[in-house]
Amino acid sequence: MAKNYVIARNLDLYYRKIMNICCIGAGYVGGPTMAMIASKCPDIQVAVVDINQERINAWNSANLPIYEPGLDEIVSEARGKNLFFSTEVDRYILESEIIFISVNTPTKEYGSGLGQAADLRYVESCARRIAEISKSPKIIVEKSTVPVRTAQMVKTILASTSHQFQHQIVSNPEFLAEGTAVKDLLSPDRVLIGGDLTPEGQIAVGKVSSIYENWIKKDRIITTNLWSSELSKLTANAFLAQRISSINAISALCEETEANVDEVAQAIGADSRIGPKFLKSSIGFGGSCFQKDILNLCYLCRYFRLPEVAEYWEQVIRMNEYQKERFVRRILDSMFNTVSGKRIAILGYAFKKDTNDARESPAIGICKRLLEEKAHLAIYDPKVSRQTILNSLGIKEDQANSIDFCKSATEACQDSHCIAILTEWDEFKNIDYEDIYKNMVKPAILFDGRNLLDIEMIRLIGFVAKGIGIS
Ligand code: UDX
Ligand code: UDX
């Protein structure tokens, strides 16, 4: 009898329209994901809440806190109708049936697991808050990237509060890449939803799935158990980063052997078993995810006493560091081993094109090294702010004597000894390099850290030009 009641109640919950959902964390993931849900599901009221008032103000203004092609349009269409940005975290926890947690999970900077483990304190505090104040059962969705078994921690917290609601935990990692967030959210390769294999767990998975089914075909929605879903996100990022480190390792060999890394990438990528994506050799991968998630994966492996597995993945990061250092060394070598007092134009600072994000950007390490060598940097990035650059370099405004912040690539290159392209912004392809060449100190040197330009054409102009994996 009691069992039938539970099933009937759950079915009722399942078929009732989801009306209110919220997302804690209005960051690069939470903001765009919720904007897409609001835009595709007019029947759902979506609230994005954050403790950072400034960020929420920006989401409510004409100047969104993050730059993503196409994002302005979907936010301005839905905002105020069924999409709300607010700092009223408790209010929206109370009102929502489904709560996404999309707070940051940085690498730990203290104590046990320092420099490797994911810092889960924000996820934990969200779980505690939900447990403390909820007056109805919730579906809690882990959107943040978390180590496998995090849901166990969330469950324990929820179970240890005085309220006896049967909250459900669902893992629904986000695979969007920055710069293409809107496109990725609109037509993802897959949506992954993991839940408990109990009837209640499966109902929760079904409910989260029903949101996405508003615009994504069901055969693109993969459902798994909780732990597979959590682990798949770390694994996907580790595999993607591994491909970049693999091709970057080969780039070093290309430079010694007159092979061309882009040609090698094309040749191997044509093999359908390998595939062409994520084989672009570069100054190394950046962004908030790859390094953090691999470090986290390695930490987990060591925790579970699998040191060989940890060492295998650590090598992906080591290769990435090597690639950045190698780039700086090549600049130094071609500038007679000294850049002291020389003006170096830095074109691009974001970790990739079409974003204003510079977290873990390879540009940070490269610029730091060049500053150590006493170079004078002239930095231009179309979207990354001066403040973000200074913060990432750990330099105060009044100590930035060795850096010019430029308003265009042309201004940065004027009177420079060397140009270093660090982000593959499209606009760098269309600069008049002949004109730039005339206004540079000779020999004019150009390092294309993204193999963006036709290096032969650049050499014909007169530049001493080098790419990655091209001798
Ligand atoms: C996301 C994921 O959450 C992370 O796990 C993944 O690895 C990368 O992408 P992202 O959206 O990029 O993180 O993080 P960020 O832009 O830092 O946004 C997180 C937001 O959460 C911030 O605005 C922060 O103010 C907010 N926050 C944090 C809260 O609202 N409450 C907290 O307790 C902690
Ligand atoms: C990544 C994953 O792609 C995404 O699925 C996950 O949700 C978050 O982490 P993101 O970091 O936003 O996304 O960007 P991505 O396009 O993966 O690029 C990461 C870094 O790798 C960038 O610095 C990029 O320039 C570099 N990269 C990428 C290469 O150097 N070569 C390539 O072929 C591809």
pLDDT in tens, 127-145: 999 999 999 999 999 999 8
* CA distance linking residue 348 with residue 423, whole number of Å: 4
The residue behind tokens 């090598």 is: 315
Please list the residues that pair with 343 across neighbouring strands: 376
CA of 142 to the centre of ligand 1 (A): 12
295 in the same domain as 211: no
Query: In the chain, how many domains are there?
Result: 2
Spatial distance between the Cα atoms of 171 and 192, rounded to a whole number of angstroms: 8
* Distances 113 to 46, 287, 295, 321, 395 between C-alpha atoms, Å: 36, 21, 10, 21, 27
Per-residue pLDDT tens digits for 216-245: 999 999 999 999 999 999 999 999 999 999
Outline where DSSP puts E strands in 36-95: 45-49, 83-86
Q: Rounded to whole angstroms, how far apart are CA atoms 369 and 372?
A: 5
Final residue in a domain of this structure, among 180, 196, 216: 216
| Contact assessment for residue 192 and residue 249, using Cβ atoms and an 8 Å cutoff | no
Residue at 387 is within a domain? yes
Quick one: 182 and 320 in the same domain? Answer: no
**Residues 210 and 295 reside in one and the same domain:** no
| Cβ of residue 174 lying under 6 Å from some atom of ligand 2 | yes
CB neighbourhood size of 450 (10 A): 22
Measured by CA distance, the residue closest to atom 13 of ligand 1 is 104
Residues 85 and 210 in one domain: yes
Does residue 224 sit within a domain?
no
Residue 1: predicted pLDDT:
39
Same domain, 449 and 320: yes
Q: Are residues 58 and 189 in the same domain?
A: yes
- Residue among 285, 361, 422, 452 whose CB has most ligand 2 atoms within 8 A, to mutate: 285
Q: Is residue 306 part of a domain?
A: yes
CA-wise closest residue to 149 among 222, 205, 228, 233 = 228
Cα distance between residue 282 and residue 362, in whole Å: 10
Of 183, 216, 249, the one marking the end of a domain is 216
416 in a structural domain: yes
The answer on 306 and 169 residing in a single domain is no
The CATH number of residue 461's host domain is 3.40.50.720
**What gap in Å lies between CA 133 and CA 208, rounded to an integer?**
22
List active site positions.
289
Across the chain, which has 471 residues, the per-10-residue mean pLDDT values are 49 62 97 98 97 98 95 97 98 97 93 90 95 94 92 90 84 96 98 97 97 97 97 97 98 97 98 98 97 95 97 98 97 95 98 96 98 97 97 94 97 98 98 98 98 97 97 83
d(CA 451, CA 469): 9
Contact 216, 257 (CB under 8 A): no
Same domain, 325 and 454: yes
Q: How far is the CA of 430 from the centre of ligand 1 (A)?
A: 35
The CA distances from residue 234 to 118, 175, 295, 449, in Å, are 11, 10, 10, 27
303 with 185, same domain? Answer: no
Rounded to whole angstroms, the maximal C-alpha distance in the chain is 87
In a domain, 376, yes or no: yes
Do 67 and 204 share a domain, yes or no? yes
Closest C-alpha to 92, from 66, 145, 56, 122: 56
Whole-number Å distance between alpha carbons of 158 and 132: 8
Q: Which ligand is nearest to the CA of 176?
A: 2
> Is residue 382, in this structure, part of any structural domain at all?
yes
My answer on whether 322 and 425 are in the same domain is yes
Pocket test for ligand 2, best of 71, 105, 244, 293 (most atoms within 8 A of CB): 244
Both 211 and 296 in one domain: the answer is: no
Q: What is the structure's pLDDT at 19?
A: 87
124 bridge partner residues: none
In a domain, 389, yes or no: yes
Please give the residue range of the domain that contains residue 138: 2-216
